[in-house]
């Protein structure tokens, strides 16, 4: 029988052969955890934040699965592991669990309530399972060395689990409180921004960004948890567990060298892979920062328990005694949980205070060096920075953090703006500078009312589709310098990045969705393959004799696409609403109208027609782009001010980069005179055309 030897007994000879490769799998999972935590640490240093964000190593289903694989050694009950490296690897697995809990704690802030509950429960199951398995191994003798270290790390493991679990209870309350404060500050900030008239749009937007950046950063859900006293204490406990592992490793190696101490003889099934596990798990360590605070628990720590306590039980039980017993039991349990929460907070404050006492000489030395550097460095000629401390949103007991957060966040926003300035769209700037800066005539000229309509219903215009269609025609014009075509394509490619941002923020109407899709498809075909839909523009340019022939060919092709689609009986319901037109039909309609408009002013006998038409198309494209990008100020303001609490910091950063990248563009556009339209009307190209057509 398979699996048995000649005597009928189970043949176990091959059972341990895959174990080294399982060890490699464990080492790979540990390395993945280490890389993710190192990436978070690097991001914190790169952006000069006061904390290490949980971007790559957050508490979720995927990370918990990887952690479960990484700590397999600590739950392996019966595999013999007699060597020093293998006993240390078991200890390092326990320390890794502690490190994971400390490092992933800020990610609690970015979770919804149900997600928060499920992830904390899943982590608790993993930690308790590991704890029980380690206890079994200590009792069975599978773990025979570093017993005191294991006991101490297990205590830290449970303490970290309790701290993390109770810290999650303050997340909904603190997020709700700071979200209310954000909207209370948002209204006066918005009114102040709208009331200020300033010729320097860039500096006005920069000031608004600094304000909203302060508000967004200070109410960042991950930062709320990261600056809490329990997270600070968790960092200290993680560091303590890492020190415990370090002293165990040092003691074991020194003992073997000094006293010729020998471990048990024998070979583990994991063989050489246990050393790889030990190395990868040892490098996955880091801590958090600390700040001084008053030695008392703030109300938001227990607010969630108080709300649950005040909420009545809706139980359909007839017996009054049973209802009263359940109600009293609930209050007793919640009172106990409140006392535990208060104890955890006070204990965390004590740990933080001890950490500060140990770190105070280093901090004082750093402050002294900073003061000396300021004293001997030449004075800066720039004016002092404005005080935006009123825009720092903070919880009870965080008053001393305000000036630290303000200084850090001001510098961060300005760095993002400078980063954007170093990556400005030079081809777009060149396209805008080459055209006439007086007004925006191309917005009106690209589509004439003299062109007969293809259908009784005319779809609304958007910004991107006319730009893509005009660029397609420009590529098809014969006898044009290839370098001029290339410059135009580069400028339009850069412009569409910002035009799309304006449309996404300010023109997100359902009726324009197909037009935007058509524009992206048309320009991708022109940019990559020099094709409009399936029409080869280069082939048309070479086959026809004159520029007028090119326009007639494009208009005829576009009309055929539209008419053929309309002629199909089953497409009748789609033609009833212009928003339901397919992408190719929408693109064909735009090509037909623009080509026919250009034909109204086209003479076949004019030899310089190609050059003049290309210049005219470039001017139209530039004018439409310029008219659209006059909405950048509004789009940037919307980008940084309107988002959920979880995404506000990223929105503020992206708005700062966008402001830096478009600084020169806004400087060019500030020289043009805008029509007398409101901000909502300026975002619509049809409103521009309606205003321009009024005599």
Spans of all domains in the chain:
19-169+230-282, 427-626
CA dist 346 and 344 (Å) reads: 6
Contact between 495 and 426 (Cβ < 8 Å): no
The angle at the Cα of 463, spanning 600 to 679, to the nearest 5 degrees, equals 120
Place of tokens 């954007």: 420
The string of pLDDT tens digits covering residues 128-168 is 998 998 888 888 877 877 888 889 999 999 999 999 999 99
Helices 320-376 and 229-258, packing angle to 10 deg = 70
Does the pLDDT of residue 193 top 80, yes or no? Answer: no
> Residue 279 has what pLDDT?
54
Does the pLDDT of residue 422 top 60, yes or no? Answer: yes
Nearest by Cα to 621 from 426, 424, 425, 436: 436
Q: How many residues does the chain have?
A: 695
Place of tokens 């397999």: 72
What is the reported pTM?
0.79
Quote the DSSP letter at residue 215.
Answer: H
CA dist 88 and 112 (Å) reads: 38
> Residue 273 has what pLDDT?
47
Quote the DSSP letter at residue 510.
Answer: G
CA dist 37 and 52 (Å) reads: 9
The string of pLDDT tens digits covering residues 253-278 is 776 555 444 545 444 444 544 445 44
> How would residue 471 be classed by pLDDT, with cut points 50, 70 and 90?
very high
Nearest by Cα to 588 from 485, 498, 514, 687: 514
186-190, 312-316, 447-451: which range is least confident on average? 312-316
> Residue 207 has what pLDDT?
85
Any alpha helices (H) in 480-631, and if so which ranges? 482-506, 513-529, 537-543, 547-567, 572-575, 583-599, 609-629
38-42, 199-203, 606-610: which range is least confident on average? 606-610
CA dist 270 and 277 (Å) reads: 10
Helix (H) or strand (E) holding 535: strand 535-536
Percent of the chain at pLDDT exceeding 90: 23
Contact between 273 and 37 (Cβ < 8 Å): no
Q: Mean pLDDT score of the chain, rounded to an integer?
A: 81
The string of pLDDT tens digits covering residues 223-252 is 888 888 888 888 888 888 888 888 888 887
Average pLDDT over residues 205-227: 85
Does the pLDDT of residue 82 top 70, yes or no? Answer: no
> Residue 16 has what pLDDT?
59
Choose between 340 and 78: higher pLDDT. 340
212-216, 573-577, 630-634, 672-676: which range is least confident on average? 573-577
5-19, 289-303, 490-504: which range is least confident on average? 5-19
CA dist 626 and 469 (Å) reads: 17
Average pLDDT over residues 277-281: 51
Query: What sign does the dihedral 308-309-311-317 (CA atoms) show?
Result: positive
Contact between 41 and 52 (Cβ < 8 Å): yes
Q: Which pair of structure tokens corresponds to residue 445?
A: 């000229």
Contact between 235 and 44 (Cβ < 8 Å): no
535-536 and 531-532: which strand pairing? antiparallel
Any alpha helices (H) in 105-200, and if so which ranges? 113-140, 147-167, 171-195
CA dist 183 and 688 (Å) reads: 33
> Residue 185 has what pLDDT?
84
> Residue 425 has what pLDDT?
93
Average pLDDT over residues 376-393: 63
> Residue 357 has what pLDDT?
72
> Residue 270 has what pLDDT?
46
What is the rounded (10 degree) CA torsion for 392, 400, 291, 123? -40
Helix, strand, coil shares of the chain, percent, nearest 5, are: 70, 0, 30
CA dist 65 and 59 (Å) reads: 10
Helix (H) or strand (E) holding 431: helix 426-433
CA dist 492 and 499 (Å) reads: 10
3-state secondary structure (DSSP) of residue 531:
strand
Q: Which pair of structure tokens corresponds to residue 14?
A: 């091959």
CA dist 586 and 308 (Å) reads: 56
Does the pLDDT of residue 475 top 60, yes or no? Answer: yes
Average pLDDT over residues 106-123: 90
CA dist 571 and 153 (Å) reads: 70
> How would residue 588 be classed by pLDDT, with cut points 50, 70 and 90?
very high
Choose between 608 and 302: higher pLDDT. 302
> Residue 693 has what pLDDT?
56
CA dist 641 and 635 (Å) reads: 10
Distances in Å between the alpha carbon of 492 and those of 22, 486, 507, 623, 689? 54, 10, 20, 12, 21
Average pLDDT over residues 649-662: 88
Does the pLDDT of residue 191 top 80, yes or no? Answer: no
> Residue 125 has what pLDDT?
93
CA dist 115 and 61 (Å) reads: 10
CA dist 340 and 448 (Å) reads: 75
> Residue 79 has what pLDDT?
66
> How would residue 532 be classed by pLDDT, with cut points 50, 70 and 90?
very high
What is the rounded (10 degree) CA torsion for 397, 348, 248, 149? -170
> Residue 269 has what pLDDT?
47
Contact between 623 and 675 (Cβ < 8 Å): no
Cβ neighbours around 575 below 10 Å, total: 17
Most confident of 67-71, 225-229, 425-429: 425-429
Choose between 57 and 430: higher pLDDT. 430
> How would residue 453 be classed by pLDDT, with cut points 50, 70 and 90?
confident
Distances in Å between the alpha carbon of 408 and those of 42, 69, 186? 17, 38, 21
Average pLDDT over residues 301-326: 80
3-state secondary structure (DSSP) of residue 47:
coil
Average pLDDT over residues 638-642: 76
Helix (H) or strand (E) holding 536: strand 535-536
Largest distance between two CA atoms of the chain:
107
Choose between 567 and 196: higher pLDDT. 567
> How would residue 383 be classed by pLDDT, with cut points 50, 70 and 90?
very low
Nearest by Cα to 493 from 461, 454, 464: 464
Does the pLDDT of residue 386 top 80, yes or no? Answer: no
Does the pLDDT of residue 288 top 50, yes or no? Answer: no
> Residue 390 has what pLDDT?
81
- Residue 670, exposed/middle/buried by CB under 10 A (0-12, 13-18, 19+)? middle
CA dist 652 and 211 (Å) reads: 10
Q: Which pair of structure tokens corresponds to residue 530?
A: 């020099």
Average pLDDT over residues 280-293: 46
> How would residue 287 be classed by pLDDT, with cut points 50, 70 and 90?
very low
16-20, 434-438, 491-495, 616-620: which range is least confident on average? 16-20
Choose between 183 and 73: higher pLDDT. 183
Distances in Å between the alpha carbon of 166 and those of 341, 353, 551? 6, 20, 71
241-250, 353-362, 638-647: which range is least confident on average? 353-362
Place of tokens 């991950």: 222
> How would residue 75 be classed by pLDDT, with cut points 50, 70 and 90?
confident
Q: Which pair of structure tokens corresponds to residue 212?
A: 């909203």
Does the pLDDT of residue 472 top 90, yes or no? Answer: yes
């Amino acid at each position: 029988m398979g699996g048995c030897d000649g005597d009928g007994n189970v043949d176990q000879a091959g059972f341990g052969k895959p174990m080294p490769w399982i060890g490699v799998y464990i080492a790979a999972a540990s390395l993945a955890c280490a890389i993710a935590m190192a990436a978070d640490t690097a991001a914190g240093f790169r952006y000069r934040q006061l904390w290490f964000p949980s971007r790559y190593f957050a508490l979720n289903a995927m990370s918990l699965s990887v952690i479960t694989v990484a700590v397999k050694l600590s739950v392996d009950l019966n595999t013999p592991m007699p060597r020093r490296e293998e006993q240390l690897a078991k200890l390092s697995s326990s320390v890794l669990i502690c490190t994971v809990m400390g490092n992933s704690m800020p990610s609690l802030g970015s979770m919804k309530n149900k997600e928060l509950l499920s992830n904390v429960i899943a982590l608790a199951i993993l930690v308790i399972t590991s704890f029980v398995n380690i206890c079994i191994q200590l009792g069975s003798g599978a773990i025979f060395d570093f017993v005191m270290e294991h006991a101490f790390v297990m205590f830290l493991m449970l303490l970290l689990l309790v701290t993390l679990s109770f810290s999650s209870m303050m997340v909904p309350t603190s997020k709700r409180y700071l979200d209310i404060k954000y909207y209370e500050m948002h209204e006066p900030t918005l009114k102040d921004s709208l009331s200020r008239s300033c010729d320097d749009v860039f500096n006005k937007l920069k000031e608004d960004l600094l304000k909203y950046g302060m508000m967004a950063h200070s109410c960042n859900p991950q930062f709320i948890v990261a600056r809490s006293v329990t997270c600070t204490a968790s960092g200290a406990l993680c560091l303590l567990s890492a020190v415990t592992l370090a002293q165990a490793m040092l003691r074991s190696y020194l003992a073997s060298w000094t006293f010729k101490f020998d471990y048990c003889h024998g070979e583990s099934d994991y063989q050489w892979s246990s050393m790889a596990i030990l190395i990868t798990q040892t490098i996955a360590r880091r801590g958090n920062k600390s700040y001084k605070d008053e030695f008392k628990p703030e109300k938001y720590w227990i607010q969630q328990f108080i709300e649950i306590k005040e909420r009545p039980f809706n139980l359909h039980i007839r017996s009054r005694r049973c209802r009263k017993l359940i109600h009293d039991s609930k209050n007793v349990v919640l009172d106990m949980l409140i006392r535990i929460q208060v104890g955890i907070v006070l204990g965390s404050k004590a740990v933080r205070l001890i950490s500060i006492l140990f770190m105070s000489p280093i901090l004082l030395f750093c402050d002294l060096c900073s003061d000396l550097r300021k004293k001997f460095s030449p004075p800066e000629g720039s004016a002092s920075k404005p005080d935006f401390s009123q825009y720092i949103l903070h919880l009870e007991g965080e008053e001393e953090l305000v000036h630290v957060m303000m200084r850090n966040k001001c510098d961060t926003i300005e760095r993002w703006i400078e980063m954007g300035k170093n990556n400005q769209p030079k081809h777009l700037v060149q396209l805008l500078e080459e055209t006439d800066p007086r007004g925006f005539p191309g917005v009106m000229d690209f589509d004439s009312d003299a062109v007969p309509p293809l259908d009784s219903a005319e779809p609304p215009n958007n910004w991107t589709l006319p730009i893509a269609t005009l660029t397609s025609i420009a590529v098809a014009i014969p006898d044009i310098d290839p370098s001029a075509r290339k410059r135009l394509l580069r400028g339009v490619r850069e412009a569409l990045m910002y035009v799309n941002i304006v449309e996404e923020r300010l023109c997100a109407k359902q009726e324009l969705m197909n037009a935007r899709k058509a524009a992206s498809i048309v320009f991708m075909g022109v940019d990559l393959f020099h094709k409009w839909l399936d029409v080869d523009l280069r082939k048309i340019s070479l086959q026809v004799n004159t520029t007028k022939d090119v326009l007639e060919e494009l208009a005829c092709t576009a009309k055929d696409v539209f008419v053929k689609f309309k002629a199909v009986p089953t497409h009748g319901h789609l033609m009833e609403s212009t928003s339901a037109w397919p992408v190719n039909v929408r693109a064909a309609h735009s090509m037909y109208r623009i080509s026919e408009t250009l034909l109204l002013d086209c003479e076949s006998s004019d030899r310089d027609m190609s050059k003049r038409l290309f210049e005219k198309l470039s001017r139209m494209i530039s004018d439409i782009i310029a008219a659209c990008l006059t909405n950048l100020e509004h789009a940037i303001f919307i980008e940084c001010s309107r988002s959920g609490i979880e995404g506000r910091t990223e929105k503020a950063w992206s708005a700062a980069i966008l402001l830096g990248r478009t600084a020169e563009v806004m400087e060019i556009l500030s020289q043009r005179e805008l029509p007398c339209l409101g901000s909502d009307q300026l975002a619509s190209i049809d409103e521009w055309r309606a205003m321009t057509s009024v005599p």
